[in-house]
Structure formats: structure tokens, C-alpha cells
Amino acid sequence: MKQKDNVDLICDIAELAGLFERSSSLEDFLKTATSIIAWHMKAAVCSIYLYDENNDDLVLRATQGLETAAVGQVRLKLGEGITGLALKELRPICEGRGSRNSSFKYIPGILEEKFEAFLAVPILRGLSKVGVLVVQDTQPHYFDEHDVKALRAIAGQLATTIENANLLMSVHAEAVVPPSAPAPLPRFIKGTGISSGVACGKATVTNEIDLEALRAAEGQMAPRTLQDFQRALQETENQLTTLQNALDEELSDVASLIFSAHLLMLKDSSFTGEIEDQINQGVSPAKAISQVLHKYIKLFAKSANPRLREKVLDLKDLGHRLLLNVMAHDGDQADYGNRLIVARELLPSELLKLAVQRAAGLVLLSGGVTSHIAILARSLQIPGVVVDVAPSQLDALEDRELLIDAGQGTLYIEPDSDIRETYAPLLEAEPDARPEVADQTRSADGTRVYLLANINLLSDVSRALQMKAEGVGLYRSELPFIVRDNFPSEEEQFRIYHRLVQRMAGRPVTLRTLDIGGDKMLSYASPQHEANPFLGLRAIRYSLRNRDTFEQQLRAMLRAGAAAPIRIMFPLISSLDDYLHACEVVQGCQLALQREGMPHSAQPELGVMIELPSAVELIDELCQAADFICIGTNDLVQYLLAVDRTNEKIADLYTPYHPAVLRALYRVIDAAERHGIEVSICGDAATDAQMIPFLIGCGLRTFSVDPAEIPEVQSIIQRCNIEKARKRARRALRMSRISEIEAFWRGD
Ligand code: PEP
Ligand code: MG
């Protein structure tokens, strides 16, 4: 029988800190700790796995009960086996019968099948991962809740000690854990898609553009001269100007002077002069370019100014172009044509540059993706996936053949012939193949429903018109602000809004005022260092605190409304006060425009985005005050459920199928109907196959979605019977559990 004197156990383990001082090394300390814990818990096995930040995995570092040869050899990915899962989900996992659990990982000869009972507890320091403490036993159901408590206490104690031990050892410059080569990359990674489409091609790892490797290639070529460098300089300038012109034409709203940093560097005589000086002193052109660029990259990277730091990728990009041009005559090689870009993180302006340089797809690391990268990737129609790969593994992807399926969120590394064959029809499909869309949308029983488009870039308008969108339900005005280095002027904004209104030719256009903050930061003006940016100075709050910016934007919108009716909508309204305050600013702008004799919209409809629980509570008052409302479910779900919409670790908790979300949606739609004002929905829930019939059943008749989604949404609505949808919505609204709603949607 096991003695469960856990109080004693905790006291003993508290002495482990002293034990470390008596140990000759961290390994020695860990080994002794595992023996003490195994002894006190009367467990057959006790092991300590430590988290390797570089490889983002766990390494078995000490064990009592398993083969010693396994130490340093067994590596588990986060989520792999019960041990990996405990660290991934940051919770203790207690299994009575490990052999029946699909997460149980057997490693023959090491983690023997004979151990049935399994208890794994993550070792954490605050939120940072330190490792996992595991006990195992042959007797099924051997560990109980007292053991879980005790092991958690020990893990808490060990975390501090291990961290201290690591610090001490680093002071003595001793390698605590022998450096290990990055874990080999798997052939397949399941991630998250940020757009749609499939792409296949060789990888370019952008954040790591290796100027050295490029320069090294020079050794195998005929020697280059000063004239070659000057030719490369001219060629680079021509290429960049051509790219800029193409951008100005296709993406005039966001692309203004996007290559300006590149072009300025080329014109900076101290930069080019330094390269020329080195060449004159006998340094080869490629080496000179690479040396001078490295110097500038270092300078920029160290700068205290975040805007300069952001230019590092521009510099690498420029270096890449210059080096390729100095070595080759084919300018096209400098483009990313048909290559898949792999990046740790990406700024929206960088994505635009890559798009115009014909990148075929994107692979990003989790943590480096803001919602605007996803929005831009969708608008630029670049397939993109986010994967959980350790930063140290990125290099290994350079030049490897990749295939991504953005819809599924999957990445194949060097896909075999079976995978290629499966994807061949999709890869060869005409990008412009247009699905059939009806001019008007009606439900199966003939009720009229309106499908509007969400527009992020002006280039989305042609897709919206192709898909027969009946108007713009949401124009996200922030992209031109986010992509540039400073605020677009009133005039520039006017041109963008005017163009949008003109191209929609009389169809309703809803312009949303600036929604920055949260994860959509402006490098030049966002509030810096907020502890909780999603609860901070975001959207309308930012606009109301920055009156000049707000007024300039409103004036530009009102002026664009001179020729055709526009609607203005405010994001993240939390109170009637917010809304009325925003309306006063609009009126002030109208008066000023009138005084100046500037043509403008005299009666724009003003609307509220319902994205906050407080707005749901005040829905009657808001419906009385506003001309229309629009439900932003992306944020409403986030704020109702307190689940960060950008945090993949809790993505499973982010669901519109939550009874609180369904009831809030019904309350809002019902209130709008009672007050006789228009209500629409513009978040991603508007494209969800289960949510569409529910929303129709609640009485919603206007959906605003990404243009590419219109055919699918239309066909779901066409199959929907209003009376049936109403009954199903009523049933769903009576449900109290997420699982019940999910089972109901599935038809169980
Ligand atoms: C929303 O919150 O649902 C919405 C459409 O706005 P955004 O995604 O731009 O925050
Ligand atoms: Mg929103």
C-alpha cells in the first residue's frame, strides 16, 4: 500500500534547494530529486523532462525507474504523449490506465508498457515553461487527487530551483544542457489557415535572408567589377520603380511609396559610396555589398526607434536584390516568383511587397501573425498558413519544396508523389474560375436576403462586383493607415473612399472609422506598451482621444458621400455616450465642411458596431439612437467569452456555438427588428454553415462577408427554409451547453 503523507513529502522536497548546493551539477541534482520524489510517492518511476526553448520540445533529463540510456535521448514535442500534452495545455494530467489512452506514447524499451498509472505535471515559472514532472506506476489508477496536489507543489518548488541552478551554472559558463541540433522537421504540419487556396514551390526564409550564402556563391563565378556593381544599382532601381508603379496601379490605397526606403538607400551616396570605396580597394562587389549591408542592418536593428528597426527586412530585401543583380543579368531572379515565403513574422507592408514580387504562398510562425496579416493575405489572395515550428527549425526550410493548403491549414515539406497528385487539380486550376452566383439571394421559400461584401483593399471591389455583392457592409478603413509609415492625409483618404463609392455605383457603402489598437498597431502612432491592448485604447476610443485624426477621417468620408449615399459606422462602441460623442464629431465636421463650401454628404446614416457585451446590454437605447447596427462577431465572441481571438492556445474556447453568444445575437437581432432599424452581421460567423440558418431563424436578413465567401453563403441560404430555421433557432436558444449545441448542429 502506498503511504500518502503528502505534507511530509512537500517538506522534504522543500529541502531540494539545499540539495542543489550539495550536487555537482544540474544533472546530479535532478537525478537525486527524481529518486527522492519516486521514493516518497512510492512510484515505480519518476522522471523530469526539461523544456528546450530553441527546439520547442521536451528532453528527458533525469529518471528514476526508466533506462538511464534514455536520458538526453527521448524528446517529446509539445502535445506529444501525456507528458507533451501536460506542457502544451499547461495542466496536470492523471491517467489511471495509460495503455487505453490514445495520448499515451510508448517508446519501446524506454517508456515500458507495464506502467499503467501516469501523472504528469507541468513545471512552470509564472507563464514560462520549465519542464514536466512525471510519475508512473504499474498499478492502474495508482495516483489520486492528493498525488496531483503534492506533485504540483513539488513542481512549483522545482521550477525556482531549476531556474536558479541554470542561472548559477551560466555564471560559471558551464553548459548545463549539451547543445542539441534542432529536431528534424516533420514531413507534415497541421497548422491554421489564414486565407484560402493551395500553393506549391520552393521556400525562401525571409527573416533569415542569408546574404553570406549569396555572397559565397560569388566564388564560383567570373569576377565582378565596379561596372557590374553600377549596372546592378541601376537595374535594382529600375526593378523597384517598376514594382512601385505596378503597386500604385493595383493597390493605390495602401501602396503609396512602399518601396521608398529601398529607393532612398540606393540614392544615399554614403551607402553606395562606401560599397564603391571597398570595391576600389580590391574587395569583390558581392563581398562589399554584403559587408556594408551588414553594417547598416546592425545599426538599424540596434536602433531605439521602432520604425528604424522595422526597416531591417527592407535592408535585407535590398541586399538580396543587389547581390542577385550583381551576379546575374536576369533581373527577374530577384523576385519571389512562385516561391513560398517562410517568415517568423511579417509586417503588413512587407506582405504587400512580397505580393507584388509574386510570392506564391506564406508560411508564418505562430505568434507572428496579426489579424491584419490574415486580412491582407485574404485580400491579396495569397494562400497562407500559420504553423507551430521552433524558430531554430526555420533555416532548415530554406530551398525545400513546400506545399500548403490554406483552407485546411496544412503544410507538407517535400511532399511525395501521392500528395502532389492529390493536389494537382487544385494547383492547376485557373485562379479566375468563377463560381455561379445569382443576382439576388433568396431562401428556399423565397424570402429576400441581402449579401454585402467586406472590403479591406480597393482591389477587393472587383471581386465583390464579380460575386454580385449588393453593397459594402464593412469597409475596414485601417489598412491604408497600417501599411504606411504615417497617417494618410485627408486628401489621400478622400481619394480612396471616393474611388470605393464610385466603383460601387450607387450600391450602399458602409465605411467603418479607424479600428486600430488591439493587435492592429500603427508603428507610428499606436499607444505603446499597453498591458492589455485588446482592453486598451482601441477603435472608437482611439478616435475620440485623437480628435484631429478622427476629424480628418470623417471629413474625407463625408466628402466621398457628396456624390452617392454613404453610411458611417463606429467600431467598439461600449456606451450610448461613445456613440453620441462620435455623432457630435460628425456634426462638427459637417458644419465645418459647409462653412468651407466643400461638397459633402449632408445626411449620412450613422451606425454602431455591436462588438461588446455592454453594447448588447444597451441594445434598446443604441437601436433608438442609431440609424443601423452591425454585429461584429469576431470581437463579440472574444469579449463575451473573454477569449483572445488571436491566441491559438485557447482557440478551442473561441466559439460562436456558445449559448451566451447565441442568446446575445438573438437579443440584438430582435431589438433591431422591434425598433425598425437595419441589422447586419459582418464577422466570420456570417460564413459559418451552422450559424447562417440560426441567424436567419433569428430574423437576420443582411450578411456582409468576404467576397470569396459569397457563393457558398448564398447556396446555404438558398437551401434554408425560414420556418424550419426559426424553429431550430428557438430550440438552440433553449440549450445551456456548448456540447448540446454542437451535437444539435451535427444532427446527433
Ligand atoms: C468583427 O469584430 O467581427 C469585425 C468584423 O471587425 P474586425 O474583424 O475588423 O475586428
Ligand atoms: Mg471588430
| 172 φ/ψ angles, rounded to the nearest 5 degrees | -85, 10
Which residue has better confidence, 107 or 395? Answer: 395
Tell me the ligand closest to 477's alpha carbon. Answer: 1
260-267 and 226-250 are packed helices; what angle lies between their axes, rounded to 10 degrees? 150
Q: How far apart are the CA of 682 and the centre of ligand 1, in A?
A: 7
Quick one: which of 44, 58, 53, 167 has its CA closest to 121? Answer: 58
Q: Is 611 in the pocket of ligand 1 (CB under 6 A)?
A: yes
Average confidence (pLDDT) over 181-205? 82
Tell me the ligand closest to 703's alpha carbon. Answer: 1
Which of these ranges, 220-224, 307-311, 548-552, has the smallest mean pLDDT?
220-224
pLDDT value for 176: 40
Q: How far apart are the CA of 195 and the centre of ligand 1, in A?
A: 16
Q: How far apart are CA 61 and CA 177, in angstroms?
A: 9
Q: Is 706 in the pocket of ligand 1 (CB under 6 A)?
A: no
- State yes or no: pLDDT of 722 exceeds 50: yes
pLDDT value for 61: 85
**pLDDT bucket at 559, cuts 50 / 70 / 90:** very high
Which residue has better confidence, 198 or 243? Answer: 198
Which residue has better confidence, 600 or 193? Answer: 600
Q: Where do the domains of the chain lie?
A: 7-173, 188-427, 445-721
- State yes or no: pLDDT of 5 exceeds 60: no
Q: Which of 262, 320, 372, 498 is catalytic?
A: 372
**pLDDT bucket at 52, cuts 50 / 70 / 90:** confident
According to the CATH classification, is domain 188-427 in 3.40.605.10? Answer: no
pTM metric for this prediction: 0.67
DSSP, collapsed to helix, strand or coil, labels residue 506 as coil
- State yes or no: pLDDT of 474 exceeds 50: yes
348-356 and 226-250 are packed helices; what angle lies between their axes, rounded to 10 degrees? 100
Which residue has better confidence, 549 or 487? Answer: 549
pLDDT value for 694: 98
Beta strand extents in 65-127 (DSSP E only): 75-77, 93-95, 117-125
pLDDT tens figures, 609-668: 999 999 999 999 999 999 999 999 999 999 999 999 888 778 889 999 999 999 999 999
Annotated active-site residue 372? The verdict is yes
Quick one: which of 138, 120, 107, 117 has its CA closest to 49? Answer: 120
7-173 fold: Beta-Lactamase (3.30.450)
Which residue has better confidence, 317 or 459? Answer: 459
Portion of the chain with pLDDT greater than 90, in percent = 40
**pLDDT bucket at 212, cuts 50 / 70 / 90:** low
Distance of alpha carbon 582 from its chain centroid, rounded?
30
pLDDT value for 592: 97
Q: How many helices (H) and strands (E) does the chain have?
A: 29, 23
pLDDT value for 334: 57
- State yes or no: pLDDT of 1 exceeds 50: no
Which residue has better confidence, 324 or 366? Answer: 324
The one-letter code for the residue type at 13 is I
Which residue has better confidence, 591 or 355? Answer: 591
According to the CATH classification, is domain 445-721 in 3.40.1190.10? Answer: no
- State yes or no: pLDDT of 133 exceeds 80: yes
Portion of the chain with pLDDT greater than 70, in percent = 84
Q: Which ligand 1 atom is the nearest neighbour of the CA of 633?
A: 3
